[in-house]
Structure 1
Amino acid sequence: MVLLAASWAGFFLARNYRERPQQIRQLRSALSLLETEIGYGTRPLIEACEAIAERMDGAISAIFARCAENLKQMDGASTYECFQQAIEQQWPHTTMKKPEKLVLLHFCQTLGRSDREDQLQHVRVAKSNLEVEEMKAREEQGQYEKMCKTVGILCGVLIIILMY
C-alpha cells in the first residue's frame, strides 16, 4: 500500500508536467479562435466565448464558459473584470503556472479597448508569448516528468525498507 501510494504521488506530479504543455497549446488554439472571431466574425464577445468554450476541452473550456457567464451577469463590469474573475476562479483547475496566467491577464486588459487591428495584434503577441511558455514547459516536462515517477517509486521503496 505504501509503495502504491508513493508511486501514485509521483505519477500525479508527472501528470502535471505532461499536461501543462497540452493546456498551453489548447489556450493558444482558443486564442486563435478568438482571433478569427475578432478578425472576421460579427458575433458579440459573449457568443464568441461561448463558441470557444464549446470547441475546447477541460479547463480551457471552463475559463471561456465562465467568461461568457460573467459577461452576461456582471452588468456594468468591464470586459477585463469579467475575464479576470473567470481566470482567477478556473486557474486552480489547470496545470498551467503563473507566467501563462500573466500573459492571459495582460491580453485581457486590452480586449475591447481598441480597434480591430490593434486587438488582433494583441492576440498575436499573446499567442507568441504562450508559444515561448509552451517551449519552456516542454523542457520542464523532459527534465522532470520521468524523475517524478522514479522518485515516487523510490520513496515508496525507501519507506518500506525503513519500516522493516
Structure 2
Amino acid sequence: MISTLGMVLILFAGTMIGFQQAAKYTDRTAQLRQLAHALQRLETEIGYGQTPLPVALERAAGHTRGPVQELFREAAQRLLLEDGSSFHECWEGTLEAGWGRTAMRQSEKASLSRLGAALGISDREDQMKHLRLAMLQIQTEEETAREEQARYSKMWKSLGVLAAALVVILIV
C-alpha cells in the first residue's frame, strides 16, 4: 500500500515538473504579447496624447497584467518619486529589480534597456521611432517564443511523465 502511494507520488511529481517547465514557454509568449501591447499603448500616449512619461507609463500598465504591469507601474513610481534621476536610471533600476519575476529572456531585457536609454531625452517623433523599433524586436521575439512553445511544451510534458515512470520502474 505504501509503495503504491510512493509510486503515485513520484509519477505526480514528475508530471508536475514537466508541466511547470512547459508553462514557462506559455508564460513567455503571453508576457511578450502583453509587452508589445503596452509599448503600443505607450507610443499612443506619447505620440498622440502628448502625455508626460510617468502618466503614460501608468496608463500603459493599466492595460496589462502580471509582471509586465508591475514593470511599467514601478517605472512610473520611480520616475515620480526619485528627484534628479533620469528616466534611463529609473528604467534600469526597474528592470533589474523586476526582471526575475518575468518569464522573458535577456534579449528582451536588452531591447527594453536600449529603449530606456532613448525615452525621455529626445523629441516626440524620435521617441516614437524608438518605441516602434522596440515593438518590432519584441514581436520578433514573440514569434520565436511561439515556435519554441509549440516545439518544446509537449516535449517537457512527456519528458516529466516518462522520467517519473522510469524512476518508478527502477525502484520496483
Same fold? TM cut 0.5: yes
1:83 aligned partner: 91
1:112 aligned partner: 120
2:59 to 43, 51, 69: 51
Mapping of 1:118-157 within 5 angstroms? Answer: 118-157=126-165
1:94 to 102, 111, 127: 102
* TM-aligned CA deviation for residue 53 of structure 1: 1.5
* Percentage of matched positions with identical amino acids: 42
1:28 aligns with 2:36: yes
What amino acid does structure 2 have at the position aligned with 1:159? V
Q: CA RMSD in A?
A: 0.9
* TM-aligned CA deviation for residue 43 of structure 1: 2.5
* TM-aligned CA deviation for residue 5 of structure 1: 0.8
Name segments (4+ residues, structure 1) moved above 3 Å: none
Q: 1-side partners of 2:54 and 2:131: how far apart?
A: 17
**Greater radius of gyration (CA):** 2
Q: 2-side partners of 1:54 and 1:31: how far apart?
A: 12
1:41 to 39, 42, 49: 49
Q: 1-side partners of 2:123 and 2:76: how far apart?
A: 21
TM-score (norm 2): 0.92
Q: Which moved more, 1:41-50 or 1:139-148?
A: 41-50
2:70 aligned partner: 62
* TM-aligned CA deviation for residue 42 of structure 1: 3.1
The residue matched to 2:142 in structure 1 has which SS? helix
What amino acid does structure 2 have at the position aligned with 1:108? G
Q: 1-side partners of 2:49 and 2:144: how far apart?
A: 33
CA contact (8 A) 2:46 2:52 kept: no
* TM-aligned CA deviation for residue 124 of structure 1: 0.6
What amino acid does structure 1 have at the position aligned with 2:72? F
Q: 2-side partners of 1:156 and 1:39: how far apart?
A: 54
* TM-aligned CA deviation for residue 143 of structure 1: 1.1
* TM-aligned CA deviation for residue 75 of structure 1: 1.3
* TM-aligned CA deviation for residue 6 of structure 1: 0.9
1:6 aligned partner: 14
Q: 1-side partners of 2:136 and 2:143: how far apart?
A: 11
- Number of positions where the alignment pairs a residue of Structure 1 with one of Structure 2: 164
* TM-aligned CA deviation for residue 3 of structure 1: 0.8
The runs of 5 or more residues in structure 2 that have no matched partner are 1-8
The runs of 5 or more residues in structure 1 that have no matched partner are none
